[in-house]
Amino acid sequence: MKRLWSRLSVLLLFTMPLLLTGCGERYFVLNSAGPVARVERNLIYTSIALTLIVVIPVIVLMFYIIHRFRDKPGNDAPYEPQWSENKTLEIVWWGIPIVIIGILGTLTVRDTFRLVRPPANVTGKPLTVQVTSLNWKWLFQYPEQNIATVNYCAIPTNRPVRFILTSNAPMNSFWVPQLGGQEYTMPGMAMRLWLQADHPGKYFGSGANFSGRGYAHMKFNVVAKPEGGFQQWVNQVKSSAPALTVSGYHDLTKDSVMKETAYSSFPPGSFERIVRQEGGMYMKHKLTEATD
Amino acid sequence: MPVDIKNFLTHFFVTGYPLIYGADASIILATVAILFVLTYFKKWKWLWTEWLTTVDHKKIGIMYLIAALLMMFRGGVDAILMRTQLMLPNMHFLGPQHYNEIFTTHGTLMILFVAMPFIFALFNIVVPLQIGARDVAFPYLNAISFWLFFFAALLLNLSFVIGGSPDAGWSSYPPLAGAEFDKGPGENYYLLSLQITGIGSMATGINFLVTILKMRAPGLTLMRLPLFTWSVVGACILIIVSFPALTAALALLLIDRVAGAHFFTMLAGGMPMMYVNLFWIWGHPEVYIVVLPAFGVFSEVVATFSKKRIFGYTSMVASIMVITVISYFVWVHHFFTMGAGPGVNSFFALATMAIAIPTGVKVFNWLFTMYRGRIRITAPMLWTLGFIPNFAIGGATGVLLAVAPADYQYHNSYFLIAHFHQVLIGGTIYGMLAGMYYWWPKMFGHRLSEGLAKHAFWWFNLGFYICFMPQYALGLMGMTRRIYTYPKGLGWGPYNFIATVGAYMMAIGFVLIVANVVYSAFYGERDTTGDIWDARTLEWSLPSPAPHYNFAVIPHVDRRDAWWVMKQERKEGKTTLDLQQEPIRPIHMPNNSGRPFILGVCFFTVGFGFAFSWYALVVLGFLAVAVLLLVRSFEYEDSHYIPVEEIKETEAAYGRL
């Protein structure tokens, strides 16, 4: 028994730092910087607390029972080989998980519906960013500003951002943990993800669904700036960056890994064209719904 | 050499990686060594008549077990290579392409060629003995199932030296796995080998469901069935209903790839989402297919080594059946982030969470089986006890993942990786190992060394936590699955380093398990009683290993834990425990046949032909299959009777007459 305990404490030693450092700023998921991520983080904490109601007693009970009912000489614990039914006990452990799942389920349904709408406390008009995953880079197009970027994306703070996502290569998944969650990018389809940043900063983003050889390098930063700074950045890109031409876009679609780049303009309607050419022509309703 | 032949050869054989040349060399050396040993010791005839043509479920079970352990070695080496590559940021041990191939084969092998044969090994070894049957319902089909699995595994393994391994992940989503983005034969190998082993699995599911429903000993009603057998019922139902979805998905994707169709590419109106749906309609029940039998093993082991009846038998059966049913309603949780509406996501989130309820009930019932028992901590029990905290944590993180909005953050991250390894290793692999240690004496007539088993357990179990606990943290830090490298400065390095150390520890654990198998074959304690653990169910009423006809006389059952009850009654002097209550009669047994093996070879040929689009080979293979089926249909004498004298002789040799 002593050996078991010493081994258990070694185990705890290894897991404790993980639990204790949960608030470090490198824990992107827990270090939320926007209302969407906050909803998700709160749900994560609540669900951890609820599941611990079962996990901790199970583990404690297990060690107690092993200790108490070990088959060794002189153990005077009761031995009842025929005792195998107890209605009350069974009702308890059918009941407790049902209650826990009931509570968690209710919260889950509430937040699932909440997150398809733009974040609450909207202070400004939503900004639309059209995102395309290519092999192996991210293309961001700003239809209202008529600028485009590759592998980074600037957004204004305190303003909901409507990301419209597609792919012209294998599926990928657009994930910015600190701003909240991910959504797949799929060829021929346009998906939607609402995100919002509370304060300026650089937020880590990456492709989360495997898409071939260069996939590990599909990382990008989302740079949040105050409204004024954002406008300034737009103007700067407009005045200094080259334009994205049709042949320039064609080059982007080739397999390659790229650095951060910006473009002062892009061919009008190019996002819609990507969606349509990749098969969107077979699902028109989806395209209009997501790009309206 | 003409240029085109040279081109062909360099494409046919995988070249350019030192690791693969090493593998080539070791494959050739191992093959030569096996051929030499078989020839030197004149074992060819023995191999053919005793093993390759056998229809005895016990031998088929042993072959499944050996194959599962071999494949676990291969999948484990893959895991070690991956963990080594991820040990430090910006490592240059494996290139991206090689890494992609390794994680794809790792996942595919571990699920379909380790977990599946491992559970089938125990189905075969245990079920007929537990229900007092002399064989399975369809012994010939059982042999076919095994050889289809075996040659499918061979086909998948061949890919890494001939033609190139699949590299689109074990779930192989199109369009990445389609012909446009994935040219070589690797992906074809994947589709064909899964398809072939799938046929075998389907047949096994049908075979064992029929066996359990129709071949139980008299008096063994369903509510007296041992829980392992109950868990097999659940797994078989799941196999029968879910595998057709995989068959459809793989067949359509193969047609896309080799015939240029567009079922799963948007370009001609196809739909990749349809593949994802079909894959997980099979894929999620699949994880319960492999974990339910593990639950069954734990139930047997806990009762035996607590010397107590299983607690809440009725609830245990109910929870197996509830899991069986609900597991069909959860598959969408694999793609909450693919744009399904909130209504759909809510439904599948709730269904997924609901599975935690019966699973939790089982854990409490195991704990209360031990409560007021007398716990002996033997090797099988150690794996069972190791499983409980594992599954409590793994199950809890499963519930966390089921929370759809939170899953937007966990999905495709290392948090998910940690979760499913915790339940698949901590559940299925621990369960299968517990079962292996538990039934080893029944298979081979000796037990495995307890000392070595304990060392193996502690290396593996501690290694497991050290490997996977940091991965939960990595997931929350934003590390995504399937990346072959990561930059410095994100803080992922230290946790990955720790995880790799844990993986090496697990590897040591595995080596100790194999060492135990070898050591105990020579020095392991022999089992002369047939009931070395003082166990409770019918298989322990037989000598170890059981004679090929299993029961000389079929026992009558009138209680749960039939064998335990018989032993108790004998102790109290109520009966003399004479199993031979009835006269011995000649026993009807199926004949051995070489055709299942040859059928495996034919399907292998078909698969190999398809992988390279060599249709002559495909046609040839299918023709041979047709001929074999035809020959079988004209076979009128496929069984024989064992005469009474022979049975009496065998029983007398065991000292039972």
ipTM of this complex: 0.92
% of chain A with per-residue pLDDT over 90: 79
The answer to whether the CB atoms of B175 and A44 lie below 8 A apart is no
Query: What pLDDT was estimated at residue B8?
Result: 79
The answer to whether the CB atoms of B100 and A39 lie below 8 A apart is no
* Interface-testing mutation among B101, B361, B399, with chain A (most A C-beta atoms within 10 A): B399
pLDDT digits (tens, 9 = 90+) for A33-75: 999 999 999 999 999 999 999 999 999 999 999 999 999 999 9
What is the identity of the amino acid at B592? N
Query: What pLDDT was estimated at residue A143?
Result: 95
Distance from CA of B282 to the nearest CA of A (A): 20
The answer to whether the CB atoms of A213 and B97 lie below 8 A apart is yes
- Pick A29's closest partner by Cβ from B375, B388, B409: B409
Query: What pLDDT was estimated at residue B12?
Result: 82
- Pick B337's closest partner by Cβ from A90, A182, A211: A182
Upper half-sphere CA count for residue A275 (Cβ side, 13 Å): 23
- Pick B311's closest partner by Cβ from A55, A84, A180: A84
If you average pLDDT over residues A179-197, what whole number do you get?
A: 93
- Pick A51's closest partner by Cβ from B175, B349, B399: B399
Distance from CA of B370 to the nearest CA of A (A): 7
Query: What pLDDT was estimated at residue A10?
Result: 56
Q: Measured between alpha carbons, how far is residue B498 from residues A118, B80, B391, B464, B563 in Å?
A: 40, 13, 22, 11, 47
Chain B residues within 8 A of A109 when measuring between CB atoms:
346, 349-350
pLDDT digits (tens, 9 = 90+) for A76-101: 999 999 999 999 999 999 999 999 99
SS3 state of residue B359: helix
On the question of pLDDT at A291 being above 50, the answer is no
CA-based nearest residue in chain B for residue A4: B458
Range scoring the smallest mean pLDDT among A17-31, A43-57, B100-114, B489-503: A17-31
The answer to whether the CB atoms of B403 and A58 lie below 8 A apart is no
On the question of pLDDT at A182 being above 90, the answer is yes
Mean pLDDT of the residues in chain B = 94
β-sheet bridge partners, residue A223: A154, A202
B298, B431 Cβ separation under 8 angstroms:
yes
- What is the spatial distance between Cα B140 and Cα B33, in angstroms, rounded to a whole number? 31
The answer to whether the CB atoms of B400 and A39 lie below 8 A apart is no
If you average pLDDT over residues B80-104, what whole number do you get?
A: 95
pLDDT digits (tens, 9 = 90+) for B529-570: 899 999 999 999 999 999 999 999 999 898 999 999 989 988
On the question of pLDDT at A127 being above 50, the answer is yes
On the question of pLDDT at A194 being above 80, the answer is yes
- pTM score over 0.90: yes
On the question of pLDDT at A16 being above 90, the answer is no
The answer to whether the CB atoms of B309 and A77 lie below 8 A apart is no
The answer to whether the CB atoms of B350 and A105 lie below 8 A apart is yes
If you average pLDDT over residues A229-253, what whole number do you get?
A: 95
Residues 6+ apart with CB under 8 A from B502: B462, B463, B464, B465, B466, B467, B468, B470
- In degrees rounded to 5, what are phi and psi of residue B377? -90, 85
Query: What pLDDT was estimated at residue A292?
Result: 40
Contact residues, B window 160-179, toward A, CB-based 8 Å cutoff: 167-169, 173, 175-176
Query: What pLDDT was estimated at residue A290?
Result: 46
The answer to whether the CB atoms of B412 and A59 lie below 8 A apart is no
On the question of pLDDT at B16 being above 60, the answer is yes
Per-residue pLDDT band at B185 (split at 50, 70, 90)? very high
The answer to whether the CB atoms of A40 and B354 lie below 8 A apart is no
Query: What pLDDT was estimated at residue B422?
Result: 96
pLDDT digits (tens, 9 = 90+) for B237-286: 999 999 999 999 999 999 999 999 999 988 888 899 999 999 999 999 99
What is the identity of the amino acid at A224? A
CA angle B393, B399, B405 (to 5 degrees): 135
Range scoring the smallest mean pLDDT among A123-127, A259-263, B83-87: A123-127
Per-residue pLDDT band at B648 (split at 50, 70, 90)? very high
Q: Assess B498–A contact: CB distance below 8 Å, yes or no.
A: yes
Chain B residues within 8 A of A208 when measuring between CB atoms:
411-413, 480-481
Q: Assess B408–A contact: CB distance below 8 Å, yes or no.
A: yes
Per-residue pLDDT band at B156 (split at 50, 70, 90)? very high
β-sheet bridge partners, residue A70: B375
Q: Assess B481–A contact: CB distance below 8 Å, yes or no.
A: yes
pLDDT digits (tens, 9 = 90+) for B593-639: 999 999 999 999 999 999 999 999 999 999 999 999 999 999 998 99
CA-based nearest residue in chain B for residue A168: B175
If you average pLDDT over residues B509-526, what whole number do you get?
A: 96
Query: What pLDDT was estimated at residue A65?
Result: 96
B589, B140 Cβ separation under 8 angstroms:
no
What count of CB pairs under 8 Å joins A to B? 286
Query: What pLDDT was estimated at residue A68?
Result: 95
If you average pLDDT over residues B312-325, what whole number do you get?
A: 96
Chain A residues within 8 A of B487 when measuring between CB atoms:
219
SS3 state of residue B532: coil
Distance from CA of A13 to the nearest CA of B (A): 10
Q: Assess B376–A contact: CB distance below 8 Å, yes or no.
A: yes
% of chain B with per-residue pLDDT over 70: 99
Tokens for B261?
């169709």
Q: Is the bond preceding B583 in cis, omega lying within 30 degrees of 0?
A: no
